[in-house]
Each structure stands twice: as structure tokens, then as C-alpha cells.
A and B are shown apart, each in its own frame.
Chain A
Amino acid sequence: MAMQGGTALQEKVSRMLSRKHKKPVLKPNKPLVLKDEVANRKIKKGEATCVTEMSMMMACWKQNNFVDTLCSNEMQSFYKCVEKAQIAVKNKSEQHTIGQSGRLQPKQATILLKRYPNLHVEI
């Protein structure tokens, strides 16, 4: 079944390259060969964490002329928020690497492809 799909694709490619009927659709400057790797997918760009805590702390600083002792409450809440954000990031990345939900991660796909690379030298 895969072989039929393979030959159909090759016929289509050769038709697109041919100059029989009209101008060729494809004019490749490199050989039409797949790479042994998969491109890394861009994860969704997150947003800035702990902005509210930071702005509260900065307002406190502005009021008290940057003396640290008077702003200790806000600073403590900022540190706690930062810690929570770090733990959340770690959990999320862990969850991504372990649970793929049916699809292979790009890094794992690359590892598997590199084990059986395309042959470019005749054995």
C-alpha cells in the first residue's frame, strides 16, 4: 500500500518536472531528498508572569524612596509569585515531554530518524 502511494507521488513529481506539455512547475536547485530531522515546533509564546506583584512592589518603592525595609511585604509576595511561576513552568515542560497525546515530539522524531538515516553513499 505504501509502495502504491510512493509510485503515485514519484509520477506526479516527474510530471511536474517534465517539459513536455508546458513549462515545468518545479525547478529544484537541490536534489529532492527529505532531511533526517524534523523542525522544532514553536511553543505558544507565554505572557509575562508576576507583573501585578512587580508593579505593586515598584509603587511601594516609589513611595518610600527605594528603602527596602518598608516594602518587605510586597517583596515577599513577589518572591512567592516568582517561585510559583518557576514550578509551573517546570511542571508544564515535564508534562509536554512525557504526555504527547498521540503525536511524537519533534525532538523524539529526530532521534528516531537519525537512527535510520537516508543513504547518500552506495553500500
Chain B
Amino acid sequence: MIRVLLVRWSRYNPYYLEPEPRKEVYHIPETELTPEQKEERELKSVRPIKAATNSVTSSVFNDPVLSKFVNMMMKDGDKIIAKGIITQTLENMKRKQVEKYHKAPEVKKAEIECNPYVIFHQALENCKPVIGLASIQKGGKFYQVPIPLTDNRRRFLAMKWMITECRDNKHRRTLMYEKLSQELLAAFSKEGNVVKRKHELHKMAESNRAYAHYRWW
């Protein structure tokens, strides 16, 4: 595959600092800085800083969760197609919600959420499992032990389940963005296959709660 965009190195000398893409940090006036922030500013004026990756921007539309989702959906490094699918998904969700909004009676209009980003975040939150299972060996046999998961792991599982579900369980001619928007709207209202999978994991963990003491951390 031919690389069209510039790539920054991933191996830097350890004393290079990370770049700060958010604009609000630089808009704080001098007087309102805490001593730690002042120290940080002085350090940044002396030390070299790594180049920013292509995926981080200082625009208002930069969403780290959405970027991670796009990266997970990407195949063979084709970010353009993945980003296109996500934009089509968001547009599709907005269209469906606006249609619902205009058809609904006055009373229900306030409850319908039209912002696709809000729907996406809420749907992902609804898909995140609370505890996971780990295979732990005790006395020659392997048991599925319920363990607490880190935030990153939970977010990853939610995204992974969403993507695999949309890739595998769809009709022959539905496009990815169509299926994704259906699944996200279902997850937003806590129905659908992904939320079902989360509940099944919870049920497995609940049935194995006797093995919780096999953990050592």
C-alpha cells in the first residue's frame, strides 16, 4: 500500500514531551495558572516535543472515542473508508431521529435525542460490561473467574462487540453504515444484540460468583 500521508516516528528519546492539542489550555490567562501548570509551561519551553499524530486535531469536532472507533473499524490501513462509513452512520442516525421527531406528538418531542454524537456515546456506555471473566487455573482445571475490568478494556470490548456484530449478523445487501446505525439506535434504547451479549456476560459472571476467590489481585 502506498503511503500518502506523513507519518511521525513512534520511537522517541524518553525526554521528548507529548504535544497538547486542546485550545482551552492555552487560553488560560497568566494569573489563573496553578504552580504545577506554571512549572509545566517552563518545562515545555526547554524540552523538545514530539510531533502530533495525524489523528489528533485542536478542532471542536475532535473526539478521541470516535477516533478510536474509526481505527478499530479500519481494515488494511484504509482510514478514508472507515471514516466515511462513520460519517454516513452519523448522518443516517440523525435522519432517522429527525423523522421520528417530526412524526411524534408535541409531548414526546422533547425526549427524542437528535444529536448523533450523544447517541453514539450513550449507546457505547450502554454496551460496556461491568465485570469480565478470566480463565484461571486452579488444581489442574481452568475456571471462569469474574474479575473487575479497567475502563480501557471495557471501552474496547464494547466497540469490538459492536463492530463484530455489525459485520457478522447482517442481511446480504445491507450496507455497514445502515446496520451500524440500527445497532447504535437499539443500544441507545438498551435493546439489540450487543446489549444482549453484555447481559449474557453478566449472567455468566453471576453464575460463577463462587469462584471469585480464585483471584489473587
Residues on A lying within 8 angstroms of B by beta carbon are 45-51, 54-55, 57-58, 61-62, 66, 68, 75, 78, 82, 85-86, 89
Contact = CB atoms under 8 A, between A and B. Distances in A.
Contacts of A75: 130
Nearest to B207: A58
Nearest to B200: A66
A62 B199 CA distance: 12
B216 A46 contact: yes
Most A C-beta atoms less than 10 A away, residue of B131, B148, B205: B148
Given A45-B216, A48-B212, A89-B217, A62 B206 contact: yes
Interface residues of B, number: 19
Interface string B183-217: 00000001000000001001101100100111111
Contact of A47 (B126, B146, B205, B216): B216
A78 B148 contact: yes
Contacts of B203: 66
Given A58-B209, A78-B130, A48 B215 contact: yes
A54 B131 contact: yes
Contact of A58 (B148, B150, B206, B216): B206
A51 B209 CA distance: 9
12 contacts: A46-B216, A47-B215, A47-B216, A48-B213, A48-B216, A49-B217, A50-B148, A51-B212, A58-B206, A66-B206, A82-B148, A86-B150
A54 to B, nearest CB: 6
Contacts of B206: 58, 61-62, 66
Nearest to A86: B150
A47 B148 contact: no
B148 A61 contact: no
Contacts of A89: 217
B209 A54 contact: yes
Contacts of B213: 47-48, 51
B77 to A, nearest CB: 34
B42 to A, nearest CB: 26
Nearest to B126: A68
Contacts of B126: 68
Contacts of B146: 54
Contacts of A61: 202, 206
Given A46-B216, A66-B202, A68-B190, 9 more contacts: A48-B214, A49-B215, A54-B131, A55-B209, A57-B130, A58-B206, A62-B206, A78-B130, A89-B217
A44 to B, nearest CB: 10
Contact of B205 (A50, A51, A58): A58
Nearest to B195: A68
Leading 4 A-B pairs by shortest Cβ distance: A48-B215, A82-B148, A58-B206, A45-B216
Contacts of A78: 130, 148
A55 B208 CA distance: 11
